[in-house]
Amino acid sequence: MATPDQKSPNVPDVAQQFQYAVRVIGSNFAPTVERDEFLVAEKIKKELIRQRREADAALFSELHRKLHSQGVLKNKWSILYLLLSLSEDPRRQPNKVSSYATLFAQALPRDAHSTPYYYARPQTLPLSYQDRSAQSAQSSGSVGSSGISSIGLCALSGPAPAPQSLLPGQSNQAPGVGDCLRQQLGSRLAWTLTANQPSSQATTSKGVPSAVSRNMTRSRREGDTGGTMEITEAALVRDILYVFQGIDGKNIKMNNTENCYKVEGKANLSRSLRDTAVRLSELGWLHNKIRRYTDQRSLDRSFGLVGQFFVASDPTVKTDRLWHDKYTLRKSMIPSFITMDQSRKVLLIGKSINFLHQVCHDQTPTTKMIAVTKSAESPQDAADLFTDLENAFQGKIDAAYFETSKYLLDVLNKKYSLLDHMQAMRRYLLLGQGDFIRHLMDLLKPELVRPATTLYQHNLTGILETAVRATNAQFDSPEILRRLDVRLLEVSPGDTGWDVFSLDYHVDGPIATVFTRECMSHYLRVFNFLWRAKRMEYILTDIRKGHMCNAKLLRNMPEFSGVLHQCHILASEMVHFIHQMQYYITFEVLECSWDELWNKVQQAQDLDHIIAAHEVFLDTIISRCLLDSDSRALLNQLRAVFDQIIELQNAQDAIYRAALEELQRRLQFEEKKKQREIEVEMCLYCI
């Protein structure tokens, strides 16, 4: 940069002002103009029309429409604003000069700098420099303690004109390289600094302040009260940090009358900084409100922090229903930045942790359940994290969800043998253990044919234990066999033991969350249906045995052959029907549904998936076994067939008894007949 005249008495002031200008230009203050893409586009079109370039304005409008529809650029506003800034004439000279602008006369074009920090409301701020010049504020100020605060304290008028010389008395020369550089630096500062000097500040005869330093105090602005107190930038930031925590600062305090934080009236702050401080202080008001709410609820242990947000807690729900009913989502309170899937995962994370502590009695710290993710170790990592904050938030929720759910499933499977109990249900309540069921029926037959009122549960329990010891069921886990028991249903008049007998499986603790009372009632319905179908197969097997055993005995009674033949044909048809039904139930219903359930359980990511898969499994077998309301008519027909099988057994038993009695009488008659013949022959021989 060209060196000013060393003989000038104001050279030290120029150097100080130059250092200050460099600090202002190098600040990181962000623009406060409204980021409205279409507003900037309209400004550009108006500028083109003002320059009588209507064709270019139409072309620009068409190009902007195509650019907006393609979505190639993310920050279209910034590009349009840059084009607007570059379109302005850097040679245009404003018509107003401030005392500071006189110092930086040979100044830089207005569009060769970064976006300025305007002292104005973003919504009312014009985008063109001409409009800003027209709306320049009539206020006073001085240089602040730093680049950030001093810009905020200056009355930002439009760009000041560039006089012909750097200092008064200097000859008017054509600008050289240094002058051009000075132009590129000073014009930015010329319209950023205040337009008018306060009368109380001492200046030189040339209009340059006598001293400028980094720690110079701010002067009062328009609207400030008398007796002001200087506030440094550090003090203001400290007060705001205190307010964020609900603590009154030195200059920002809680106003109980208006229920908000207020900046002290004697604080020497510009309107923009005062408004910004008040807006930031609203976080402190929100902190106090949440703090009061949590303090009021701190003694309610059943409520806790869960019920204060979008997850509601019902303290009346007992431990056995904790997973199902205790915690629910309050959809009306879910924040807009959290999706329904994310809120569901947050709910599952909390439910899993509470379920482990309260139901599973697992006191493992949460930090061990959830692997600590790698934090940002460098500024670049932190920048990347905040750049993609939405995906980072989703990643944190997913990580916590997968870790807690995996830990919970591991505890249920390893410590409480959830999968083993599920297989036990399949073997015993769904009659999957064939040898055990068959042997149990053989042992129970003498007891179950009796009236239901004559049965005793301890006798049936002893028979159950005998069947377990005599079959492969003895190799099951003692924990499973301990839960297997006998249950007698409600007795109705005329019921036999077959009608009220049922196996039962006791569940408690964490596994009762999967095998709820509703699920166990479904298992009981399915068992009764399968047990009755198995009994039909057992009856038909006895009928076929009766045919085989009595066929030779009744061969000598030809009058019974037709009836026995019809009984044999009818029994064969019933056997075929029962076998087809058993095939359908065993393979088409139970095995297929069980295979689907097992695959879903192996792939489940959380306990809700297992519960849902198990409920789908039960609903499937309920409907396919004709036990749902839609199949009631078909089930009644099937039960009628079962009743016919029982009647066939009773009728055939009666026929066999009558036939055998008749056969016995005929044999006795033949025996007597032979004896009489022998006696007659003996008499004839004696004569």
> pLDDT tens digit string along 40-97?
888 888 888 888 888 888 888 888 888 777 767 777 777 787 777 776 655 554 444 3
Final residue of a structural domain among 415, 450, 469: 415
435 and 408 share one domain: no
Task: Tell me what pLDDT residue 49 has.
Answer: 85
Task: Tell me what pLDDT residue 568 has.
Answer: 87
Q: For residues 285-296, give the mean pLDDT.
A: 85
423 and 405 share one domain: no
Does a structural domain hold residue 104? no
620 and 484 share one domain: yes
- CATH number of the domain at 476, please: 1.20.120.1900
Domain that holds residue 621: 419-668
Share of the chain above pLDDT 90, in %: 36
399 and 494 share one domain: no
Residue 545 pLDDT class (50, 70, 90 cuts): confident
424 and 294 share one domain: no
Report yes or no: 37 and 80 within 8 Å, Cβ to Cβ. Answer: yes
410 and 426 share one domain: no
Q: For residues 155-161, give the mean pLDDT.
A: 38
Q: Specify which of 310-319, 382-391, 548-557 reaches the highest per-range mean pLDDT.
A: 310-319
Distance CA 39, CA 123 (A): 11
410 and 465 share one domain: no
Does a structural domain hold residue 328? yes
Strands 252-255 and 260-263: antiparallel
Distance CA 319, CA 358 (A): 7
User: C-alpha distances in angstroms, 449 versus 372, 462, 465?
Assistant: 64, 17, 20
Task: Tell me what pLDDT residue 444 has.
Answer: 94
Phi (first) and psi of residue 321, to 5 degrees: -115, 20
Strands 327-329 and 252-255: unpaired
- The answer to whether the Cα torsion of 220, 222, 224, 225 is positive or negative is positive
Residue 558 pLDDT class (50, 70, 90 cuts): confident
Share of the chain above pLDDT 70, in %: 70
Distance CA 156, CA 118 (A): 6
Using only C-alpha atoms, what is the Rg of the chain? Answer: 48
Report yes or no: 190 and 98 within 8 Å, Cβ to Cβ. Answer: yes
Which of 86-100, 267-281, 297-311 is least confident? Answer: 86-100
Task: Tell me what pLDDT residue 387 has.
Answer: 65
Q: For residues 245-261, give the mean pLDDT.
A: 89
Final residue of a structural domain among 259, 275, 299: 299
Residue 1 pLDDT class (50, 70, 90 cuts): very low
For residue 616, give the 3-state DSSP assignment: helix
Q: For residues 174-189, give the mean pLDDT.
A: 44
For residue 269, give the 3-state DSSP assignment: coil
Q: Give the pLDDT confidence of 481-513 residue by residue, as tens digits.
A: 999 999 999 998 889 999 999 999 999 999 999
Asked if residue 218 has pLDDT above 90, the reply is: no
Does a structural domain hold residue 579? yes
Final residue of a structural domain among 399, 415, 431: 415
Number of domains in the chain: 3
Asked if residue 124 has pLDDT above 80, the reply is: no
For 173-229, the DSSP string reads ----HHHHHHHHHHHHHHHHS-SB--TTS-B-TTS-BS---TTPPPPP-TTPPSS-B
Does a structural domain hold residue 64? no
456 and 602 share one domain: yes
Angle between helices 517-551 and 607-624 (to 10 degrees): 40
397 and 516 share one domain: no
Give the closest residue to 425 by CA, choosing from 538, 580, 582, 593: 593
Q: Where are the beta strands (DSSP E) in 168-213?
A: none
346 and 442 share one domain: no
366 and 289 share one domain: no
What the block records as the tokens of 138 is: 């009539």
Within a 13 Å sphere around the CA of 400, how many CA atoms are in the beta-carbon half? 19
Task: Tell me what pLDDT residue 675 has.
Answer: 87
For residue 46, give the 3-state DSSP assignment: helix
Distance CA 552, CA 587 (A): 38
Does a structural domain hold residue 146? no
Q: Give the pLDDT confidence of 445-495 residue by residue, as tens digits.
A: 999 999 999 999 999 999 999 999 999 999 999 999 999 999 999 998 889
Phi (first) and psi of residue 267, to 5 degrees: -70, 130
Select the more confidently predicted residue: 627 or 140.
627
Does a structural domain hold residue 652? yes
Structure-derived torsion over alpha carbons of residues 141, 144, 147, 151, reported in degrees to the nearest 10: -20
429 and 524 share one domain: yes
Q: For residues 238-263, give the mean pLDDT.
A: 89
Does a structural domain hold residue 32? no
Does a structural domain hold residue 90? no
Q: For residues 527-548, give the mean pLDDT.
A: 91
Asked if residue 683 has pLDDT above 50, the reply is: yes
For residue 505, give the 3-state DSSP assignment: strand
Asked if residue 375 has pLDDT above 90, the reply is: no
